[in-house]
Amino acid sequence: EGTTRDDAAEALPYGMPYQRETRYDPPTGLMDLQSKPLRPIRYYPDGTEGWLVTGHAEGRKVLADPRFATGERFTHSPTELPHVFVSISEQVPPGFFLFFDPPEHTRLRRKVTGVFTVKRMKDLEPRIADIVDAQIEALRAAGPGADLVREFALPVPSLVICEMLGVPYDDRAAFQANSANMLDLSLSVEDRNKAMAELFGYLMQLVPAKRADPGDDMLSVLAADPEIHDVEAAGIGLILLVAGHETTANMLALGTFALLEHPDQMAKLRDAPKLMPAAVEELLRYLTVAHNGIMRIAKEDAEIDGQLIKAGQHVTVVLQAANRDPHKYERPGELDLDRDAQGHMAFGHGVHQCVGQQLARVEMRIGFAKLFEAFPDLRLAVPSEEIPMRSDMAVYGVHTLPVEW
Ligand code: HEM
């Protein structure tokens, strides 16, 4: 009574707080919104009403619910900087299955799930260990001090995904910069789309080459598959190439930084290497590098926990908040390698849950273990405040990590 719809809209928080006050914690303004874990907010650029999910249980409900789709054009952003979904959805490449809903999504994703099973990843371990060893030698050779991102954290996952896909690593100048630019929120949507188009073009010319001269790699298999068009093979390659190295690279670098700054936790891990799998889960939870918000659009009116989300409205699930939901985790703001972090949402949830998660886990377990073993006195080479944080990138982390040993 007495309040108009406009007044109510006026009272809604505008957007999702994004700029952090500290290196590892989500913004306090974002965490404050957890008092109402599923709430209406206003979206950029014009204040249109949408939803923000900061709770763990609520986030899972939305991401598991087929009424919330990704196969739509995202027109609004929960952050001032245009969201990565907004730019990509302007021109989704064929095959880029993150942006398709079932049954199309199912058809395309099925073409790669077999390659990323726990069993297949187990078989890949020796090869990943070799790649890690070689990069540790490269890091040592670049020393006595070096940038861990450049010499180790980026090349390891990049080499692994290139080898799996059959993308020549020697072409990395053509794809590392473009794949970083696709996720650089400080660039215009136009420039991000240009980077994506270049990368897609690069993969498009690889597909027929693979069919003509097949190797023991995924692109060759996709190129030979009669159920998949060349453009789809290129699109599947694109999503794997980008997702495959940006995310794990940032976990390796930011994870190392966080452990160096939590020496008690680092000591725990050095004393008990068996802790590694649990430690990796806790680092995934605590750091949640996919911090841009997972967006969906309601295909129809949908009631969740008594609140009506209207058809066409944007919903953003904030993984870094869900992973610090006090209803799910005790002392959520603490990095505690002894805790059971299972059930975290760092890889998302539902049908789009990360297809590369087993690979990422193996890369991190082997990567951290060998790095800390090779450099028992690894330390930062500059004061921690001087480390440039990736606040304006869709994947959080550090731009560089100068270390010495
Ligand atoms: C999806 C995070 C590593 C490939 C996702 C999603 C998240 C995520 C949050 C869900 C996106 C959504 O629902 O909208 C991560 C993190 C990683 C990682 C934190 C490393 C620590 C990898 C690797 C690969 C990969 C190594 C590939 C080799 C994919 C693909 C999807 C995906 C293809 C889309 C799945 C689909 O739509 O069905 N990832 N990822 N990711 N990830 Fe990862």
299 contacts 316 by C-beta, under 8 angstroms: no
ipTM above 0.90, yes or no: yes
Q: What's the rounded Cα separation, in Å, for the pair 61 and 305?
A: 9
Q: Which residues of the chain have pLDDT under 70?
A: 1-10
From the CB of 236, is ligand 1 less than 6 Å away?
Answer: no
Question: Is any atom of ligand 1 closer than 6 Å to the C-beta of 289?
Answer: yes
Query: How far, in Å, CA of 341 to CA of 319, rounded?
Result: 14
Burial degree of 205 (CB within 10 A; 0-12, 13-18, 19+): exposed
Q: For the whole prediction, is pTM greater than 0.90?
A: yes
Q: How far apart are CA 52 and CA 29, in angstroms?
A: 13
- What share of the chain has pLDDT > 90, as a percent? 87
Predicted local distance difference test score (pLDDT) of residue 2:
43
Contact (Cβ atoms closer than 8 angstroms) between residue 63 and residue 304:
no
Q: What is the dihedral of CA 387, 403, 401, 148, to 10 degrees?
A: 180
User: What is the Å distance from ligand 1's center to 355 Cα?
Assistant: 6
Residue 127: its pLDDT value, please? 96
As a whole number of angstroms, the distance between CA 132 and CA 14 comes to 44
CA distances from 312 to 13, 32, 214, 299, 301 (A): 20, 27, 44, 6, 8
CA distance 155 to 245: 8
Residue 3: predicted pLDDT = 47
Counting every residue written for the chain, the total comes to: 405
Please work out whether the CB of residue 251 comes within 6 Å of at least one atom of ligand 1: yes
Q: Which DSSP category does 119 fall into? A: H
How many A from CA of 272 to the centre of ligand 1? 29
Residue 57 and residue 134: Cα distance in Å, rounded? 42
Instruction: Tell how far the Cα of 148 is from the centroid of ligand 1, in angstroms.
Output: 23
Q: Is the CB of 239 under 6 A from ligand 1?
A: yes
- What pLDDT, on the 0 to 100 scale, is given for residue 208? 95
CA–CA separation, 327 vs 330, rounded Å?
Answer: 8
- The pLDDT, as a whole number, for residue 1 is 41
